[in-house]
Amino acid sequence: MAVATVDEAEFAALKAEIAAWVAGPGEEWANRIEETGDVPPELFAELKDRGWLSLAAPAELGGRGIPFSRYLELLELISKSHGSIRMLVHVINGTWRAMAPYATPELLDEVVKPSVAGDKLVAFTLTEPDNGTGADITTSVRREGDDYVMNGVKHLITFGVKADYLLIAARLEGSTGNDGTVAFAMPNRLPGAEVIDDSDTMGVRGTDHAILKFAEVRVPAKYRLGEEGQGLEVALGGFLLPSRVSVAMSAVGLAERAQELAIEFSKERVTFGKPLAQRQVIQFYIAENFGRIAAAKSLIIQAARTYEQGAPEASALSSAAKMIAVEMLATVTDNALQVFGGRGYWKKNAIERVYRDARAQRFEEGTNEIQKLVVARAAITGEANTEGILNW
């Protein structure tokens, strides 16, 4: 599979633009989001106008066609900002991957292209209160003429309150396993659907989350993505696999922000006549953070490249990258907070927000327990091994 290239001068200018925005206006927006608990429409409009919601999609869908592995360089920078800003850029630059290969021309025009343009918001809708790994979903549909009738509950759905459409996976009534799953790109709030705002979270403040209840909701069949039986192929391969790599890189970006804050504070804070940066214990924290970030980033880049090439190790590496990156992020942010001592516990310091936002990535796009199952299965069956990965 050929991987597209970028104009390096233009790409460097784009990276500089994002970095400057994150350090300046981005911090102002972050403070406003923390104060209000909401992402204002003006911020969404600014991200759209800057073209940051359509970085990765191909030109035929209205995007800028930046290759996945290079797009991650941009997401890394954006992830140094507020968690809700990163979430918008990450999700909108990803949902088209699941929808486009399976969408009819009509769905491309109604849902996919407007999503890439930032005119419509699509929420990825998989997790259920008692199910979340994919094949165990119980939200069901049955075919009645030109409609499917949906029943069930989804929860922890990011953007589920404000979304215009839902990228949702369900299963045919009476089916089990993967073969009975069906995916839709359906309008939110169809008659019979209840949307419950469940947005009061520890971190990533401002991003709305919903509980969605469906009771005999009629979904026109024209909103189906692909064929019956392809539901998990759409949800897992089309969205979750690359999204896990994206979450991993966002963990790198946030860890780098925590490291920057810790280094800056260690140079300013003086105890017993000497800056913290000159104390060995603080230097050890900073050195450990540096090594962990660099190691995780290397694995993520490898995962991105195998995904671009369609290599057999892509799924295992996607989960491995996410698994390693979020564990790294937990350690790095904890070390960074420790450098601040008690001061880091107060909300007036950015490290406090970074610490809270970091915790969400431990379960975003699947917990590490799920990632370990994916990696273990691939390793045991021989679908992925370290020799093949290193020689790729």
Total of domains in the chain: 3
Per-residue pLDDT of the chain (392 residues; tens, 9 = 90+): 456 688 999 999 999 999 999 999 999 999 999 999 999 999 999 999 999 999 999 999 999 999 999 999 999 999 999 999 999 999 999 999 999 999 999 999 999 999 999 999 999 999 999 876 677 899 999 999 999 999 999 999 999 999 999 999 999 999 987 789 999 999 999 999 999 999 988 889 989 999 999 999 999 999 999 999 999 999 887 788 899 999 999 999 999 999 999 999 999 999 999 999 999 999 999 999 999 999 999 999 999 999 999 998 999 999 999 999 999 999 999 999 999 999 999 999 999 999 999 999 888 888 888 899 989 999 998 877 655 444 43
Phi-psi sector, 209: left (phi>0), alpha (psi -120 to 50), beta: beta
Residues 312 and 375 in one domain: yes
Question: DSSP class of residue 233?
Answer: I
Domain assignment present for residue 187? The answer is yes
Residues 217 and 298 in one domain: no
Helical segments of 225-313, H only: 231-232, 241-268, 280-309
Neighbours of 48 (CB within 10 A): 16
Residues 220 and 281 in one domain: no
Residues 53 and 180 in one domain: no
The predicted pLDDT at position 391 comes to: 40
Interatomic CA distance for residues 215 and 211, integer angstroms: 13
Domain assignment present for residue 1? The answer is no
CB contact at 8 A, 292 and 336 = no
Residues 244 and 373 in one domain: yes
Residues 241 and 343 in one domain: yes
Domain containing residue 259:
232-391
Domain assignment present for residue 157? The answer is yes
Residues 259 and 164 in one domain: no
Residues 259 and 318 in one domain: yes
Active-site residue (options: 110, 364, 365, 383): 365
Domain assignment present for residue 133? The answer is yes
Domain assignment present for residue 129? The answer is yes
Residues 236 and 224 in one domain: no
Which of 92, 117, 142 is at the close of a domain?
A: 117
Joined tokens for residue 311: 């290599």
Residues 29 and 12 in one domain: yes
Residues 95 and 152 in one domain: no
Which of 183, 211, 229 is at the close of a domain?
A: 229
Domain assignment present for residue 3? The answer is no
Domain assignment present for residue 377? The answer is yes
Residues 190 and 241 in one domain: no
Which has the closest alpha carbon to 82: 344, 350, 293, 365?
A: 350
The question of whether 313 is a catalytic residue gets the answer no
